[in-house]
Structure 1
């Protein structure tokens, strides 16, 4: 749950123009660890997934390389 996390600077994609739509938001933890938290934007009090910097960088690289183009 989010109450156990250090402060997170949440960001929603600019592709999510409709703020009432379901989307995810992500942001770095403010504890200096480099970890990145991800949550459902419409359910901010629900579960949050936290990734290490290496995991996040691998995901972003995969997106850029088209690995998730279904």
Structure 2
């Protein structure tokens, strides 16, 4: 079975995005930030490295990740 071509993320300027970080993020710099990007994409970055281009995910991809995180599928990575 042939794989479908993945969607192509849009070009984004991180300075034009409105970044959000979790309230659990402290002042220690351990922050992951998310921002809505164009065409329904979600941008993700490490707040310590704002000049590195953000990773871009579709809403479906991010929803699948969040579902797994809420279900504890990645908890073993923190131990």
**Fold match (TM-score > 0.5):** yes
For structure 2, the residue ranges without an aligned partner over 5 or more in a row are: 1-10
Counterpart for residue 23 of structure 1: 31
Aligned length, in residue pairs: 64
TM-score normalised by L of structure 2 = 0.71
CA distance in 1, matches of 2:20, 2:57: 15
Counterpart for residue 17 of structure 2: 8
TM-score normalised by L of structure 1 = 0.78
Counterpart for residue 47 of structure 1: 53
Among residues 53, 60, 68, which one is paired with 2:66 in the alignment? 60
- Structure scoring higher RCO (CA < 8 A, sep ≥ 6) equals 1
For structure 1, the residue ranges without an aligned partner over 5 or more in a row are: none
If you compute each CA radius of gyration, which structure gives the higher value, 1 or 2?
A: 2
Cα RMSD for the two superposed structures: 1.5
Q: Which has the higher helix share?
A: 2
